[in-house]
Amino acid sequence: MAVFTHSVGGQTWRFDSLKEVMAKASPARSGDFLAGVAASSDGERVAAQMALADIPLKHFLDEALIPYEDDEVTRLIIDGHDRAAFDPVSHLTVGGLRDWLLGDMADETSLRALAPGLTPEMAAAVSKIMRVQDLVLVAQKIRVVTRFRNTMGLRGRMSTRLQPNHPTDEPAGIAASILDGLLYGNGDAMLGINPATDSLSSICAMLEMLDAIIQRYEIPTQACVLTHVTTSIEAINRGVPLDLVFQSIAGTEAANASFGISLEILREGHEAGLSLKRGSLGNNLMYFETGQGSALSANAHHGVDQQTCETRAYAVARHFDPFLVNTVVGFIGPEYLYNGKQIIRAGLEDHFCGKLLGVPMGCDICYTNHAEADQDDMDMLLTLLGVAGINFIMGIPGSDDVMLNYQTTSFHDALYARQSLGLRPAPEFEAWLERMGIAHQRDGRVRLGEQLPPAFRQALAQLG
């Protein structure tokens, strides 16, 4: 195990492992202090970042942060590494990779080719020595395009997950939120419900309802009920119409075990979803959610800093060719990301690292009510991620999730980002909005305050 040193202001700092220098190079966040792995001072953090910048990328292939024999995620990373794809940057240090990423040689084509050659630890390392503008600049070069019933991730597009959660899973309440969101041009990423109960009968009823809505109005989108992957498998076995298979994932085997999953269980879910052949444009059908701090909260981080653990989760995700991956950035709470500044930085890191690894990244731009953050912080992160080329964000009535009790982005927020940044929905969904009369054909703008489309007037009347 290598030792790394760097001197700052006449003091020499020593880091006894790659794991230690990675942790202490991380920008300050509450979770790393909670875990006891953070730098003790700004001086030590700078020294760690300088030491990290000088480490050759090849070293990451020789020193695993979590031992190969102890962790199936480590084995997935090492065994799946593409040496040929890595070759163009194999001579670089972490700092050299940063410089290369910021240069003109790193374009959309070269970055797509590089993705399988990078390990999550390499991506996490370079992100730790990048400014906010660096994270935005590189991420906006990268496009990860996926398809199921529509196309996600195209340049100039930003999609939304319409999240019609209800505290009692009441069908009329869910339907009303879906109608509201569609009228604001939301829902092209998916109609995705976090169920209040994990009852199989309730899950199946929601899946049937979502499918009926999509079929009735011929909406080019996909549905997802965010239940455990084993519940989705059972629903599929019962013949229930299920589009996207969901699961929360983390970056260590032990953290995934705390979710009741393994790589084998995820494989079974993926194969079950594929067996339905419900995608009309493609077969990307897994939907994963992640978040910095999940491994630490399960005491399954192995002394690895929370941002690196998070990035390792993207190796799990990309193995299953997902439709979308969502970092629920501020949801776990201030114990892990204390305030708006830490949440903003984490959201940009996650998006950058995921895209660099070839993962179709979205972000639930959110915070809990006891965090030192507010909606202004979320507006800043939303704008930065819009510039950075985020694949999708959340759309929730009034930005206040009444079931999960946290604050996120609203239907209106998506319209703000699209209008301000010149972004549009997925092309198939945009054409549907125009055909239904929800959006103007001349410019795609949503017809806010204008007469409802006839089909939706009837639906609203039925809701009472």
> Which residues, in sequence order, are CB contacts of 321 under 8 Å at separation 6+?
146, 283, 284, 286
243 assigned to a ligand binding site: no
Nearest CA to 38 among 291, 299, 303, 342?
Answer: 303
Q: How many CB atoms lie within 10 A of CB 133?
A: 12
Reduce the secondary structure of 24-58 to three states and give it as a string.
HHCCCCHHHHHHCCCCCCHHHHHHHHHHHHCCEHH
Distance between CA 37 and CA 26 in Å, rounded?
Answer: 10
Hey, which residues does 15 pair with through a beta bridge? Answer: 4
167 assigned to a ligand binding site: no
The CA dihedral of 206, 207, 208, 212, to the nearest 10 degrees, is 100
11 assigned to a ligand binding site: no
62 assigned to a ligand binding site: no
Distance between CA 89 and CA 58 in Å, rounded?
Answer: 9
Distance between CA 257 and CA 244 in Å, rounded?
Answer: 22
418 assigned to a ligand binding site: no
For residue 450, with 0-12 CB atoms within 10 Å meaning exposed, 13-18 middle and 19 or more buried, which class applies? exposed
Distance between CA 23 and CA 39 in Å, rounded?
Answer: 7
Contact yes or no for 307/26 (Cβ under 8 A)? yes
Contact yes or no for 414/176 (Cβ under 8 A)? no
Hey, CA dihedral for 365, 152, 350, 99, is it positive or negative? negative
297 assigned to a ligand binding site: yes
195 assigned to a ligand binding site: yes
Hey, CA dihedral for 12, 15, 18, 22, is it positive or negative? negative
460 assigned to a ligand binding site: no
162 assigned to a ligand binding site: yes
425 assigned to a ligand binding site: no
Distance between CA 27 and CA 347 in Å, rounded?
Answer: 13
Annotated binding site for substrate: 161-163, 194, 289, 364
Annotated binding site for adenosylcob(III)alamin: 195, 247, 297, 403
Annotated binding site: 161-163, 194-195, 247, 289, 297, 364, 403
